[in-house]
């Protein structure tokens, strides 16, 4: 009889490797860090080798871990293709789309009525996903993901959408004359909102100390409200709670409608280390619903970027 691995250990290994952190893996899976560690130890006992090493930069796979990750990736991809082929054979009329909450709330949702009007025969089901685990569980037809640029290239099942800039924004009443600061050092006197929890490194563009140094702000970064995700931080900024670092796409409409304004001139903008892609299973490559939606989103992205 074939020996089966501890599947909960495989899930824990996948999450820990992607995040390079036991803590973040535990948060994604809704478990304690101790539970993640216990599941990994069971998997290592089954494999007979250590799978992950702790380093200054986080968790890194051992040689055995690399081999397991490659095999696990192939299995998950094959399972996704199998589910997609099964769904394609039935050809449901509803198009199931997954994306992050911030992109859904601040960009896509208000534009979807245009797609629905153009293609009334295609029903849309919008799903919020914040992890690969969620995405795999939902049997999605299309995903819009925000990923490191190193993995962002056009393929037969993926197209590029946006290259975004990151810059500080706030409601106009928080700034003198409701305009970008002439003297950037004044930023040090304004309330600051943080994206990401303490200890999480999302890139230099999201670091207030980096921005203060670039702008010549001599005051230290003091306290401020901290939010787990950008969508909630933007909601707080729209309520006047402070200045937040934001991605250009997510604040495009709020800037155009003068709900928010730039805090410093655009020449200070930093390029995002991540980018948006839209992807779909290979089994749905010839699906009319997927093709129409992908083409529409790509055009909408281009229009937004040009404005």
* Each residue's pLDDT tens digit, 63-98: 888 888 888 877 777 776 666 666 555 555 689 999
Provide the pLDDT confidence category of residue 25 given band limits of 50, 70 and 90.
confident
Kindly tell me the burial class for residue 214, based on how many C-beta atoms sit within 10 Å of its own C-beta (0-12, 13-18, 19 or more): middle
Angle between helical axes of 248-256 and 288-306 (0-180°, round to 10): 60
Confidence check: pLDDT of 57 > 90? no
Whether residue 284 contacts residue 156, with contact meaning beta carbons closer than 8 Å, is answered with no
The mean of the pLDDT values for the chain is 86
Q: Tell me which H or E stretch contains 191.
A: none
pLDDT reported for residue 165: 92
CATH 3.40.190.290 range(s) for the chain read 92-307
**Smallest Cα–Cα separation from 59: which of 10, 95, 120, 15?**
15
Token representation of residue 190 = 């304004």
**Smallest Cα–Cα separation from 193: which of 169, 217, 166?**
169
Q: Tell me which H or E stretch contains 202.
A: none
Report the share of the chain in percent with pLDDT over 90.
41
**CATH class for the domain made up of 7-69:** mainly alpha
Q: Which residues contact 75 (CB under 8 A, 6 or more apart)?
A: none
Whether residue 277 contacts residue 152, with contact meaning beta carbons closer than 8 Å, is answered with yes
Q: Please say whether the structural domain 92-307 has been given the CATH code 3.40.190.290.
A: yes
The CA–CA distances, whole Å, from 119 to 32, 35, 192 equal 45, 47, 43
Of residues 162 and 279, more confidently modeled = 279
Of residues 254 and 188, more confidently modeled = 254
Query: Which tens digit of pLDDT belongs to each residue from 165-202?
Result: 999 999 999 998 888 998 888 888 899 999 876 656 66
pLDDT reported for residue 99: 93
- Once rounded to an integer, what is the mean pLDDT over residues 257-279? 93
pTM exceeds 0.75, yes or no:
no
Query: Which tens digit of pLDDT belongs to each residue from 89-118?
Result: 555 568 999 999 999 999 999 999 999 999
CATH 1.10.10.10 range(s) for the chain read 7-69
Provide the pLDDT confidence category of residue 307 given band limits of 50, 70 and 90.
low
């Amino acid at each position: 009889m074939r020996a089966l691995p501890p599947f909960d250990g495989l899930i824990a290994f996948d999450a820990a490797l992607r995040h390079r952190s036991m803590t973040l893996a535990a948060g994604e899976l809704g478990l304690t860090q101790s539970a993640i560690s216990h599941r990994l130890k069971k998997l290592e006992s089954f494999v007979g080798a250590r799978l992950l090493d702790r380093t200054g930069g986080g968790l890194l796979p051992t040689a055995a871990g690399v081999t397991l990750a490659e095999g696990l990736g192939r299995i998950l991809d094959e399972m996704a293709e199998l589910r997609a082929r099964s769904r394609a054979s039935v050809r449901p009329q509803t198009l199931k789309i997954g994306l992050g909450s911030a992109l859904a709330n601040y960009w896509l949702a208000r534009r979807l009525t245009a797609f629905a009007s153009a293609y009334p025969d295609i029903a849309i089901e919008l799903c919020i996903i914040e992890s690969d685990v969620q995405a795999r569980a939902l049997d999605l037809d299309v995903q819009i993901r925000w990923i490191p640029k190193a993995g962002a290239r056009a393929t037969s099942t993926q197209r590029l959408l946006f290259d975004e800039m990151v810059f500080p924004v706030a409601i106009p009443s928080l700034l003198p004359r409701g305009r970008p600061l002439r003297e950037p050092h004044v930023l040090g006197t304004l309330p600051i909102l943080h994206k990401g929890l303490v200890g999480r490194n999302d890139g230099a563009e999201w670091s207030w100390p980096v921005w203060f140094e670039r702008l010549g702000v001599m005051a230290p970064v003091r306290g401020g409200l901290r939010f787990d995700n950008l969508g909630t931080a933007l909601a707080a900024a729209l309520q006047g709670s402070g200045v937040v670092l934001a991605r250009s796409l997510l604040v495009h409409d709020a800037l155009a409608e003068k709900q928010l304004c730039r805090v410093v001139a655009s020449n200070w903008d930093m390029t995002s280390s991540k980018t948006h892609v839209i992807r779909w299973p290979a089994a749905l490559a010839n699906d009319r619903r997927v093709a129409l939606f992908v083409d529409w989103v790509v055009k909408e992205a281009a229009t937004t970027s040009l404005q």
